[in-house]
Structure 1
């Protein structure tokens, strides 16, 4: 009996629940309204800049070599090692050279004896004037040959022509090298004032760059520092391998000694004036290199995402190139929370 009453109770509750009105949807399903601020698009006339990248080097790169060929006796410097002007860097084995010097000395002595004998015979009318002149010419040739051998002997040793450091050791001790074959690749430095940044530019950028123009440089090895620089040289021919023109920026490092080959970024100020659109950094979304997007309000409650091209960053400001088609304002707050389906509320 009790079991039957329990079943009737459950059935009644089920019937009552079926007769109730359906509940309203939760307010959570309603779209959010995002409050934003907008600003009119403003333009600013600025000095033109060129963004470039390159590698650190020095003003003077020197390939040291021996004037004559031979067997390398010693190389006294290692890669990365600094040297002073006049310091001995490498030598050749002088056995063969010394033999050549001795031979030239003997040749001069013989020519001197021949000339002295010819002069004596000429006085006795035994030798003709032509024979005397021939022995004198032979003596002069022997002396010049001795001078040449002595000159080559001096260049069997390599001395530093200026302060610098070894960038690359090309040859090794015991190796046979020919005359003029590079042995050491070096970079010269003069009290930390000889460092440059070699950058590549396009045809149009090369035409805009002038000698003496100022630049700001950042080096990857010193990410928190900005170095001042100026345009030192611009090469008159393009690099055939990379297809761009080379410009050299003289660096003012203020005591910093970077590694040769360190990567750097530079911004060169040019004389060209240009008009740029300036927006707050917070307006950008989906920034990737020089590309990004911004939102513009197309009504009181709708937005549209449009692409932009970034020229440069300046603290909390962004400079854009080109025109923003179909836009007369920019969303300057809460851009990160928006998409083109968002409903906005414009606030002041």
Structure 2
């Protein structure tokens, strides 16, 4: 008696193989899928132990934060009042100069010669006046001639003063104490009146300049205390609101406000960026959470986890504000009062993770 296998010819055997292969494949996929679901189910059932805190809004001091830039108290464009060939330059860019310090000189030979001539003319005018004044007092000199000689004497004195001033103006001095930021002349070049030779900025006193929106400008007053953090120096300087420009920018609708800062050590340099915080004295309701509850991902995005009613961790994007003195951070967007914030165990969570308390 022949078995079933023996009765299969090659053609029938190939047909059976074609029929059996899909069935075997389906069974294998179903088996693997079942294994995967079991493993996933087992994993998802392991809850992460966390701690939670209910979000509340509390009254906190109203603090405004701005970005600002350091600018000098005064900027002076300095130049010669007379023309001439520059024969000496005694300072360089970046140098701190004192008020009255000599900066540069021009060749004063021409002005010295003119002064010598003016002195000679003055001596002649004074001698002539001395001789004719006596005649005039005796009535021997007409009034017209007397007036003429007095006029010539006055002109000679003025001519001497003008030429003496030209010599003085051939030496250029710093009008303020500050830093040379620009040197626009070279030795041997020609100086001309009205053409700046140096730019000096006064830096013993500086300002942190910032733009304040219309909605906040009413809370600021001259004398309001401000904390100015300078990242470059990693230092915070205390100053006061000094200038509030009453004219808003036509495009941005912001107002320029300046914070006066002492800079006697010249650490603060114009152009440095600042972060400015101002306590207005008012109170505002705000949400603050422990800074340790905030998670930052690889894209530098900040988020937290909150617990829902099904004991699941829900990831929520947030926007943060300032830090408070209690190592808490103010949340400006992303959380609501009553949310169950996860404050411990959040680093082990993913969106939708099972949690336990």
Aligned-pair distance for 1:318? 1.0
Matched, 1:71 2:81: no
Matched, 1:53 2:57: no
Seen in structure 2, the aligned counterparts of structure 1 residues 326 and 211 have a Cα distance that, compared at 3 Å, is: closer
Normalization by structure 1: what TM-score? 0.75
Q: Which residue of 1 aligns with 2:258?
A: 248
Aligned-pair distance for 1:277? 0.7
Q: Choose which of 143, 153, 177 in structure 2 pairs with 1:139.
A: 153
Assess if the C-alpha contact under 8 Å between 2:211 and 2:257 holds in 1.
yes
Please identify which structure carries the higher strand content.
1
Q: Which residue of 1 aligns with 2:170?
A: 156
Assess if the C-alpha contact under 8 Å between 1:74 and 1:91 holds in 2.
yes
Q: Which runs of 5+ in 2 are unaligned?
A: 1-23
Aligned-pair distance for 1:184? 2.0
Seen in structure 2, the aligned counterparts of structure 1 residues 200 and 70 have a Cα distance that, compared at 3 Å, is: farther
- Number of residues of Structure 1 aligned to a counterpart in Structure 2: 326
Q: Which residue of 2 aligns with 1:208?
A: 219
| Mapping 1:96-107, distance limit 5 Å | 96-107=110-121
Q: Which moved more, 1:163-172 or 1:74-83?
A: 163-172
Q: Which residue of 2 aligns with 1:261?
A: 271
Seen in structure 2, the aligned counterparts of structure 1 residues 117 and 220 have a Cα distance that, compared at 3 Å, is: same
Assess if the C-alpha contact under 8 Å between 2:55 and 2:337 holds in 1.
no
Matched, 1:332 2:346: no
Q: Which moved more, 1:56-65 or 1:33-42?
A: 56-65
Q: Which runs of 5+ in 1 are unaligned?
A: 1-17
Matched, 1:344 2:341: no
Q: Which moved more, 1:73-82 or 1:314-323?
A: 314-323
Q: Residues of 2 paired with 1:52 and 1:222: CA distance?
A: 18
Q: Which residue of 1 aligns with 2:103?
A: 89
Matched, 1:217 2:228: yes
Seen in structure 2, the aligned counterparts of structure 1 residues 254 and 46 have a Cα distance that, compared at 3 Å, is: farther
Q: Residues of 1 paired with 2:254 and 2:117: CA distance?
A: 54
Q: Which residue of 2 aligns with 1:181?
A: 195
Seen in structure 2, the aligned counterparts of structure 1 residues 285 and 189 have a Cα distance that, compared at 3 Å, is: closer
User: Aligned Cα RMSD in Å?
Assistant: 3.9
Larger Rg belongs to: 2
Aligned-pair distance for 1:77? 0.7
Matched, 1:272 2:286: no
Q: Residues of 1 paired with 2:187 and 2:253: CA distance?
A: 38
Normalization by structure 2: what TM-score? 0.73
Q: Which moved more, 1:55-64 or 1:36-45?
A: 55-64
Q: Please list the CA deviations of residues 60-80 of structure 1 after superposition, one character each: whole Å capped at 9, or x if unmatched.
A: 433332233333222201112
Q: Please list the CA deviations of residues 104-139 of structure 1 after superposition, one character each: whole Å capped at 9, or x if unmatched.
A: 334434544554576477578775313321331232
Q: Residues of 1 paired with 2:224 and 2:300: CA distance?
A: 24
Q: Residues of 1 paired with 2:158 and 2:101: CA distance?
A: 29
